[in-house]
Amino acid sequence: MTRTTYHHGALRQALIDGAREILAEGGHEQFSLNEVARRAGVSTAAPYRHFSGKDELLAAVAEQGYATLHASLERASADTADVRERLLRLAGAYVRFAHDHPDLFVTMFRSRPGADPVGHDSFEVLLQAVVDAQATALIPAKPSPELMARSIWATLHGLAVLSLRQPHQRFGMDEPPEDLATSTLSAMFGL
Amino acid sequence: MTRTTYHHGALRQALIDGAREILAEGGHEQFSLNEVARRAGVSTAAPYRHFSGKDELLAAVAEQGYATLHASLERASADTADVRERLLRLAGAYVRFAHDHPDLFVTMFRSRPGADPVGHDSFEVLLQAVVDAQATALIPAKPSPELMARSIWATLHGLAVLSLRQPHQRFGMDEPPEDLATSTLSAMFGL
DNA sequence: ACCTGAACACCGTTCAAGT
DNA sequence: ACCTGAACACCGTTCAAGT
């Protein structure tokens, strides 16, 4: 009920926050631009001063997601110098991100392609770890770092998506999400 | 404009077909239950005699997707007796399915979890190939078939999702979709 | 049994008007 | 410059009524 006057684009951030709130509560089913406006205490037309429409607001949410994911991966990567440990922590961090922020994760991979770099920065972090892992012969040097990183990225993404969808079936929740990633990766490369 | 009278649940299938048509044309953005009814030449209330609502119609579409995927994998699996070849063809078939039927693929993995077995049958096909591949020492016998199949499934799913999203970036379209899968798999296991 | 017609609350978006 | 109020076409869903 605090209908303070918004200034300097404070409404813009309030709308993004409100959108995340709704997505976290009820997912994309529940989401509506009118509801976002309502929560911010403004008219349904107000958001159009800050976003071209619903899609652009969701794109802004997705962008926050890319940034958050990148930060998570950087943190995991900086944690340790050991190459094997670093690779596994990166893997764990990716899947954990999806489980910690399903609202962001789903939004990131729902928006129409083209606009998003799908975590360009994030891919670079993984790529560097792969380069190092190949240099120390931890994993095969054969496919190029790019291709290898792509394969690993796809695996992590698949694990994240599938484990998010069916927690109790084959993509278990018995093990915590990051263990799912690390065990899968170490199984594939015999780490 | 053929407003024939529907009988014996012929409308049900007509609605599913119409839904697929719309999804194939304009994706989920474009989809609406009213539009489906319009295309079938019935009132907007008519679909409710056959489906509890929009979600149930989409679930029916998803089910057709699961069946189609399963059939594709069976066909790929039956094609050859050579274990290596079979595994690679299965991998190719999964990613190819996503590219051949993006409307089905997206719908399958969009519906709320719980209801779907995420291609229970399909997983069994892959599982069998993994069992055979482990038996002939084509791939490591170490992680259980279940875990190994899960890892491979996740990889294929990730490749499908990501290549569908960004055809021209890192998950290339230079190579046809099935090559993406086979090359990734052979890279991981050195096949 | 299956479908229509009309209605309801809600949505995304637009635009003239206010301050 | 930023927001409101009112409007538009459209959506998902319901329900009495028709055949």
The string of pLDDT tens digits covering residues A143-186 is 899 999 999 999 999 999 999 887 656 665 567 888 989 999 98
Under a CB-based contact definition with an 8 Å cutoff, are residues B172 and B165 in contact?
Answer: no
- The vertex-B149 CA angle with B144 and B153, nearest 5°, equals 155
Cβ pair A187:B143 closer than 8 A: yes
Q: Protein contacts on strand C: list nucleotides below 7 Å from a Cβ.
A: 2-7, 10-16
**Strongest mean pLDDT among A28-37, B3-12, B135-144:** A28-37
**Closest C1' nucleotide to A31's CA:** C11
pLDDT above 60 for B114: no
Query: What is the arithmetic mean of pLDDT over B40-59?
Result: 97
Question: CB distance A162–B190 less than 8 Å?
Answer: no
pLDDT at B51: 97
Could you give the residue ranges of the DSSP H alpha helices within chain B? 10-30, 33-40, 54-78, 83-100, 102-108, 120-135, 145-165, 177-189
- Using one digit for the tens of pLDDT, what is the confidence trace for B126-146? 999 999 999 999 999 988 999
Task: Examine the pLDDT at A41 and tell me if it is beyond 90.
Answer: yes
Residue A134 has pLDDT above 70, yes or no: yes
Q: Is A111's pLDDT higher than 60? A: yes
Residue B116: pLDDT over 60 = no
**Dihedral of the alpha carbons of A116, A91, A189, A187, in degrees to the nearest 10:** -120
**What is the mean pLDDT of the segment spanning B87-113?**
92
Res B3 pLDDT > 80: no
User: A111 in contact with B at a CB cutoff of 8 Å?
Assistant: no
Which chain D nucleotides are covered by protein, judged by CB under 7 A? 2-7, 10-16
Q: Searching chain B, which residue's CA lies closest to the CA of residue A127?
A: B170
Across A3-7, A83-87, B38-42, B171-175, least confident range: A3-7
Residue B73 CA: distances (Å) to CA of B81, B89, B110, B134, B181? 14, 8, 21, 19, 14
pLDDT of residue A120: 82
Contact between the CB of B50 and strand D at under 7 Å: no
What number is the average pLDDT over the span B89-110? 95
Assess A159–B contact: CB distance below 8 Å, yes or no.
yes
Nearest to B110 by CA among B161, B154, B149: B161
Torsion-angle region of B163 (φ positive above 0: left; ψ -120 to 50: alpha; else: beta): alpha
Mean pLDDT within A15-38: 96
pLDDT at B150 over 70: yes
pLDDT of the residue at A80: 85
Rounded to a whole number of angstroms, the distance from the CA of B4 to the nearest CA of chain A is 35
Output the pTM of the full model: 0.92
d(CA B142, CA B98) in angstroms, rounded, equals 30
Q: Supply the mean pLDDT for chain A.
A: 89
pLDDT at position A115 over 50? no
